Chain A
């Protein structure tokens, strides 16, 4: 069984995708079409790069250490959130999701 698939066992996790360094979808599971998983992977890849740029500039302009390299990001919408860590991205339902646990799992799985 795929290692990332175990994230679907966490409450509220609806989709989990793993993508290459160029944003190409490697594998994805959950309640979303394959086409949309491809879009999600590309989005997460682009967003990760943007966040990295933001954190690098913040560190450069302020001289404050500890922002880079960033570990992840969360965009929390009205009912659903998107969480990215390394080359993983997941979509979670806000109502049920234990977000602290999900982020810890994403960190752990991203090292495999």
Chain B
């Protein structure tokens, strides 16, 4: 089963998606097309990609100014909206970067209904170690 299919089995999963570092949507699964569509996921992906970059800047800056550690690299970014949440991960990309690869896998994310959202379960799926190829 692919990661997207696994994410779709989470309670309250509305959609799961993959996107490039530059934000373009690559692949998606949608549970409720009347509520969320491909075009919305594309904009959401761009927003998440920007936030992953900003969070990386913040983590690097924070570690430099405070001498604290453990923030960089960023594994996931989560926005908890009023009814929906989005969780995205770039962890697999980090593994590829650390292995010296130039071609990186996509970011992976899931949209959840807050009512049933289990963030820990989402992180557990997104943090499964993938073998670097």
Contacts and interface: CB of A to CB of B under 8 A. Distances in A.
A23 interface: no
Interface residues of B, number: 39
A22 B45 CA distance: 30
A85 B79 CA distance: 10
Interface in A62-112: 62, 64-80, 82, 85, 93, 98-100, 103
Nearest to B65: A39
B81 A68 contact: yes
A101 to B, nearest CB: 9
A80 to B, nearest CB: 4
Contacts of A78: 70-75
A99 to B, nearest CB: 5
Contacts of A99: 119-120, 123
A7 interface: no
A72 B68 CA distance: 23
Contacts of B82: 66-71
Interface of B: 35-36, 39-40, 43-44, 47, 50-51, 54-55, 58-59, 62, 65-66, 68-84, 114, 117-120, 123
Given A54-B51, A70-B80, 18 more contacts: A36-B66, A54-B50, A58-B44, A67-B81, A69-B82, A70-B79, A71-B114, A73-B78, A75-B77, A76-B75, A77-B74, A78-B73, A80-B70, A93-B70, A98-B120, A99-B123, A100-B120, A103-B119
